[in-house]
Amino acid sequence: MRGLIALLAAASLLVPAPALAAPEPRTGFEKTGNWTTEAEEQAYLRALNLPLTQIGTTAQGRPIQLVRVGSRSARTVVVFICSQHGDEPAGREACLIRMRSLPRSSDVTYLFVPNANPDGRAANTRGNSSGIDINRDHLLLRTAEARAMAAVFRDWKPDVIHDLHEFGPSAPYYVKDFLWLWPRNLNVADGVHDLSETLSRSYIRPSVEAGGRTSGVYGIYVDPVTGEPIRQVAGDHQERILRNTSGLKHSTGLLVETNADGTPAYRVESQLLGLDGTQSFVRDRRAEIEAATAASRAVRTGPMYFGGADNQAPAPEDVLATPPCGYVLTGAQYVEARDELALHGIKSQYLRGGDRIVPLKQEARPLIPLLLDARADEPLLKAQPVAQC
């Protein structure tokens, strides 16, 4: 008997002990409470072992990256744009944390641009290394950062775009912890506009308020004493702001702004609550979202608007009641603008003599007059409208 016990004991030594599971990757912020450094971010992204693509390079040589969670072939695509303003780091931290916990095999594709302004984040500046506010460049695409995002929107055709920002104590008339706003531009399709407002009011708001935060509509200055609205300041209709550009590109979505006058942990937790709201929206409303974005992408007719918003009637001169059939670009104009047109997914046709025509009858219709008509606020160029194509 003793010999059998000894034999079994010896045999047990030959069986390897079960390997301990590798610890889950953690961001620099989770480890130290300090904002994740550039080196920590790159190490963390590698450790996650998620599909990681470089979609651009900043002026200072830093990579602009895209992280995918979920299948490439899912019908619903959600994009998170994290910290376009380099001095608003909480959104980036929330994105880095959240991508770790999402299911890797699901019927939703989640895409993250985890650091949308790497040069600005390194310098802790609002703008990029040239001092340009990237969130005012989604129409003209003068920055590498905005161009990289435009390519993502063109190639992935997202159903939802969630844009993460912060506001600081320099904005004394914002008296809430968490602010949200949908695309207000009048050229956004009704279905996309309405679902975006639903996302803000019926999903983001209850999610963040359940977490103990106060919330409200972004862009309304409120008297801190009386609580009464003072004025609207958010550039409501401006098509160059991602909140509006996303709607013009057929995506439901919103901008969120969390109060930076708090501890770093509180700020990041606020952003995570906002992400919870968008995930709930996608889970509950997938069929409606897909139907609304598909209808928006279909060829549409009707007037175009160079001003006004869903809360402000346009001036008569800002209404293009009978839009042209298209816009003719000279050969020189086309050479100047072809890269930006391609990034926006705008198609053109060759004409004799080297000119090109951009027909309005295409998926990118909501953007075309805003880019090519002399009446637009900030056209890419002033092309010739024509009644017949």
Identify the H or E element spanning 192.
helix 190-198
Cβ pair 258, 275 in contact under 8 A: no
**Cβ neighbours of residue 69 closer than 8 Å, sequence gap 6 or more:** 50, 99, 102, 103, 104, 109, 110, 111, 112
Residue 49: exposed, middle, or buried by beta-carbon count in 10 A (0-12, 13-18, 19+)? exposed
Cα–Cα distance, 115 to 9 (Å, whole number): 55
Report phi then psi at 386, rounded to 5: -130, 145
Decide: helix, strand or coil at residue 44.
helix
The two structure tokens encoding residue 234: 């958010």
Count Cβ atoms below 10 Å from residue 302 Cβ, excluding itself.
Answer: 11
Q: Give every CB contact of residue 99 below 8 A, 6+ residues apart in sequence.
A: 48, 50, 67, 69, 110, 112, 114
Q: Are strands 319-320 and 252-259 parallel, antiparallel or unpaired?
A: unpaired
CB atoms within 10 A of CB 126: 17
Cβ–Cβ under 8 Å, residues 67 and 97 = no
Four-CA torsion 207, 212, 213, 215, nearest 10 degrees: 60
For 265, phi then psi, to 5°, come to -65, -40
Write down the catalytic residue from 257, 288, 317, 340.
257
Q: For this structure, is 257 an active site residue?
A: yes
List all residues 6 or more positions away from 352 whose beta carbon is below 8 Å from its beta carbon.
none
As annotated, the active-site residues are 257
